[in-house]
Amino acid sequence: MNFEYFIAKRIISSKSYKSSISAPIIKIGIAAIAIGLIVMMIAIATGIGLQQKIRDKVVAFNGHVLITNYDSNNSEESITPISTDQEFYPDFKAVEGVDHIQAVASKFGIIRTETDFEGAYLKGVGADYNWKYFQEFLIEGKLPNYTNKRNEDVLVSQYLANRLELKLNETFQMVFPKEDPEKLPNIITYTIVGVYNSGFQDFDANYLVGDIRHIQRINKWKKDQIGNFEVFINDYDELTEKGIEIYENTPSTLNTQTITHKYGSIFEWIKIFDTNIYGIMGIMILVAGINMITALLVLILERTQMIGILKALGSSNWSIRKLFLYNASYLIILGLFWGNILGLGLLFAQKYLKLFPLDPNVYYVTEAPVFISASYVIALNFGTLILCLLMLLVPSYIITKISPVKAIRFE
């Protein structure tokens, strides 16, 4: 039998221990561990959740890598067409890890209603378009279908629909001006078949999705001419490497650009979340560790006579230190238990009930997203336990300085 564990278990289960002077301090130590774990879990879950949600929304509108023409066009409108007759299209087999490639084009126009108007880009897509992301954003109606003949069905953002007082299944006119102001503009009457809300207002305010064949007709392009290609990869963590490989496997007349480069300010901003997470974790573990050190010192002070008796009976300093470390481990695990119950409860409540909204103008999302993974929860619990125990090794050294004779007579 483990002698130290046996004594520690008897101390923990004794009634006098629970009603002793140290009981309030011990409870504070347990609460500090629980609160620290809750704060760390929320910081990690919301930090990673925000990063992934914002990243996915940028990917939804652009893909992971864009293949475009080399030109001086800085607008979102497609000016110079690219032929779809490429070795990498419709299957990018030259680069392993490419999940999908699609052809798109954009055209600026003015949405006109009886009472109002608004400028926006029509994002033209075709039969090869991957609707996975917009399926998640869809809040009303259905996704358009462009696999058959050309049609006037469009997907409009909730933001634009609200500004222009448009409803599902209503029609509106979109005016596409020509470069020559003396020529009459192209006017197309569209029907709203679906309404989406990505929560990313920078995109929602500027894009509606329609048939690419309208843009080809307006621009007088051939059927095999499009604005640019959007490439999706399987693993975002390999974006830089895959971006280089894609560049190396495209013609020299075409340029490639990753979303982290195109939207550098957004991705630099979300990288700051990592620094915040590490800072919060460090502070919380330090606070919890200091509280446990205080609790351990009080326990040692309260059991000074017992320490003296154990030393008189031949127990080594390390054996007695282990006894108190076992005791502290129980308190830490108890704090972690309640921290997990409350922390995971809050995270699941936010995930499914969406209790805490956010300003999309600032955070690009409408509510605080959470990322819950067993791997980081286990690592966080294990890491907190180990770090707190390591911090307790130093104060437990005070036991070696206690004299058996003085300790037995201590009151």
Residue 312: both structure tokens together: 């008189």
In 10 A of CB 150, how many CB atoms? Answer: 11
Average pLDDT of the residues in 196-200: 85
User: Strands 186-196 and 171-176, how do they pair?
Assistant: antiparallel
pLDDT band at 393 (very low <50, low <70, confident <90, very high): confident
In 10 A of CB 405, how many CB atoms? Answer: 10
The tens digit of pLDDT for each residue in 19-53 reads 566 678 778 888 888 998 999 999 898 888 888 88
Q: Hey, what amino acid is at 268?
A: E
Domain boundaries along the sequence of the chain: 3-56+269-408, 71-252
Strands (E), 4-97: 65-69, 82-83
pLDDT band at 280 (very low <50, low <70, confident <90, very high): confident
3-state secondary structure 375-395: HHHHHHHHHHHHHHHHHHHCH
Q: Residue 405: its pLDDT value, please? A: 60
Strands (E), 91-198: 98-112, 117-125, 138-141, 153-157, 171-176, 186-196
CA nearest 121: which of 214, 32, 184, 244? Answer: 214
In 10 A of CB 296, how many CB atoms? Answer: 24
- Choice between 383 and 16, residue whose per-residue pLDDT is larger: 383
Average pLDDT of the residues in 59-72: 86
Strand partners, 138: 196
Helix (H, G, I), strand (E, B) or coil at 128: coil
Name 40's Cβ contacts closer than 8 Å, sequence gap at least 6: 280, 281, 284, 285, 380, 384
Residue 66: both structure tokens together: 């864009």
CA distance 203 to 364: 10
Answer whether residue 135 shows pLDDT above 60: yes
Residue 296: both structure tokens together: 């351990």
Strand partners, 155: 194, 209
Helix (H, G, I), strand (E, B) or coil at 271: helix
3-state secondary structure 184-200: CCEEEEEEEEEEECCCC
Average pLDDT of the residues in 230-243: 90
Answer whether residue 265 shows pLDDT above 70: yes
Quote the mean pLDDT of the chain. 84
Answer whether residue 212 shows pLDDT above 90: yes
∠ CA 193-199-205 to the nearest 5 degrees?
65
Q: Are 91 and 254 in contact (CB under 8 A)?
A: no
The tens digit of pLDDT for each residue in 287-314 reads 888 888 887 787 777 777 777 777 777 7
Q: Residue 344: its pLDDT value, please? A: 93
Residue 292: both structure tokens together: 């446990």
Q: Residue 268: its pLDDT value, please? A: 86
The tens digit of pLDDT for each residue in 66-107 reads 998 887 666 778 888 899 898 888 888 888 988 899 999 999
Q: Residue 406: its pLDDT value, please? A: 61
CA nearest 258: which of 53, 49, 62? Answer: 62
Of the ranges 140-144, 179-183, 268-272, 363-367, the best mean pLDDT one: 140-144
Q: Residue 404: its pLDDT value, please? A: 66
CA nearest 67: which of 301, 251, 325, 327? Answer: 251
Residue 150 sits at φ, ψ, to 5 deg, of -60, 135
Q: Are 259 and 59 in contact (CB under 8 A)?
A: yes
CA distance 196 to 161: 10
Residue 42: both structure tokens together: 């929320």
Q: Hey, what amino acid is at 298?
A: V
Helix 317-353 to helix 374-393 angle, to the nearest 10 degrees? 150
